Amino acid sequence: MSLRPAALLVSFVLLTAAIVLPSTAAQLSIPLIQYHERTLPNGLQVLSVENHASPNVAVQMWYHVGSRDDPRGRSGFAHLFEHLMFKSTKHMHAEQLDRLTEDVGGANNASTGDDVTNYFEVVPSNYLQTLLWAEAERLSNLDVDQKNFTSERAVVEEEYRTRVLAQPYGKLFNAIDPYSYRVHPYRRPTIGSIEDLEAASLPDVIAFHHTFYRPDNATLIVAGDFDPKQLDAWVDRYFGWIPKPSTPVPQVTAKEPARRKNRRYTVTSATAPLPALAQTWLIPPAADSADYVPLQVAAALLSQGDSSRLYQSLVYRHEVAQQVGAEADGRVGPGLFTVYAILASGHRPAEAEKLLNEEIDWLATQPIPAAELDKVKTQLLTGELGQRQTAQGVAFALGQAALIDGGPQHVNTDLALLQRVTAADVHRVLQKYVTGAHSVTIDYLPQKVPVMPGAGQGAAK
């Protein structure tokens, strides 16, 4: 997981040892990610990790804005802006970033979440200067005009139709946040809605850009093959001049209240062939590592792989479901512990709910075999270390730590915490946040399409 080839080899050897050592093995000593942090006078946070293992470099811009910051009645704004940032600027044509990356053998993309919007590229390291200029250019000189707004709004609306309406279980997963939160703006789905997007205007978009796309609300991450002194000089040159606005960045102040009772909702679908069920419980922010990391382990024990508890119970033994899952979704604010099941033919949500809760209760109260716990922790550790073998993966891990997990130092502390998670920790967090708390349950049912009068059984669609 480190920065130099020798350390990468050590990481691989240690990882291999982790797979075969028994539960009494000592905690692995994982090489640290040696990151450098600085903040420009205009507030831009800069994180960098030097690594000359390969001649490429990852450049990422993380903006501290997500769907939680969408204006009221304008869900999907942060997501819309992810698209707009690829349009034209004062000195770049629309989609020119593709030419600056793909035409030299690199790649670029972006994503929007509840708390952040990130833009990421990987290119041969001799193009680092160009990419820094391009990121500074679209931060400071983006063309927010009616043409770009109209075209990208149509793209986002089509994405909603494709990912939510056309997918058999798209409406289920899109309904989890709106029903799970009562006050917090996390209740707005990141992808937005067609109605809210259609209600938006160009002045709304311009105001959103001025409010959140600013240097003191951004983190630049550079990882890979570069010279630190040259990087600092280029960052100062291209980003240092961008002024810091005089107004403060708006902050989310809403506090999600504790749930006082269980709640149940029903969502119907015209495209789902079979029923499904989802349940959620509120969990603390990701920065609360002492509880959040054991919750991640609990979710993995429940659903990671075909040998997991939910799969073995609902899919294999009882044949009630064809797909199951569990996730500890950590956020800057309150997160969610979520379980779901897509049912097998002939079964109803109540059957899956009973089995889901039985498995969670059993995990929360009964002894957990050491071999099972070690296996799941090794799987989580393997996945994380595997990601960190590339410059792009290191940059993602650092961005996640810095913007969501409570600070960049978490990139080097949470894996050690993961290795120390015990069965007692799993029992404690499940009893505190899940079995000892109130849930939201969503029954997802196929719509019954009525048969037209006079039509045969085959006429219904």
Q: Do the domains at 34-239 and 263-446 have one common CATH topology? A: yes
pLDDT at 398 exceeding the cut of 90 = yes
> Which whole-number Å values give the CA distances from 325 to 92, 145, 310, 315, 382, in the listed order?
43, 42, 7, 11, 20
Residue-wise pLDDT tens digits, 345-396: 999 999 999 999 999 999 999 999 999 999 999 999 999 999 999 999 999 9
Q: Average pLDDT, whole number, for the chain?
A: 90
Tokens matching residue 106: 């690199």
Q: How many angstroms separate the CA atoms of 193 and 373, rounded?
A: 41
Q: Domain spans of the chain?
A: 34-239, 263-446
Q: How many angstroms separate the CA atoms of 293 and 401, rounded?
A: 13
Q: State the DSSP string of 366-384.
A: SPPPHHHHHHHHHHHHHHH
Residue type for 15, please?
Answer: L
pLDDT at 1 exceeding the cut of 80 = no
> Which whole-number Å values give the CA distances from 414 to 56, 147, 198, 421, in the listed order?
27, 45, 42, 11
Residue-wise pLDDT tens digits, 183-238: 999 999 999 889 999 988 888 888 888 999 999 999 999 999 999 999 999 999 99
- What pLDDT was estimated at residue 26? 62
Helix/strand/coil (H, E, C) string of 398-426?
HHHHHHCCCCCCHHHHHHHHHHHCCHHHH
Domain 263-446: give its CATH superfamily. Answer: Metalloenzyme, LuxS/M16 peptidase-like (3.30.830.10)
- What pLDDT was estimated at residue 456? 38
Q: Are 84 and 241 in contact (CB under 8 A)?
A: no
- What pLDDT was estimated at residue 454? 46
- What pLDDT was estimated at residue 11? 35
Q: How many angstroms separate the CA atoms of 281 and 137, rounded?
A: 42
Q: What is the mean pLDDT of residues 448-452?
A: 53
Residue-wise pLDDT tens digits, 107-118: 999 999 999 999
The CATH fold of domain 34-239: Cytochrome Bc1 Complex; Chain A, domain 1 (3.30.830)
Tokens matching residue 303: 């659903």
Closest CA to 312 of 356, 368, 377: 356
Q: HSE (CB half, 13 Å, CA atoms) of 267?
A: 22
Residue-wise pLDDT tens digits, 262-283: 999 999 999 999 999 999 999 9
Q: Is the dihedral of CA 411, 415, 416, 422 positive or negative?
A: positive
- What pLDDT was estimated at residue 461? 28
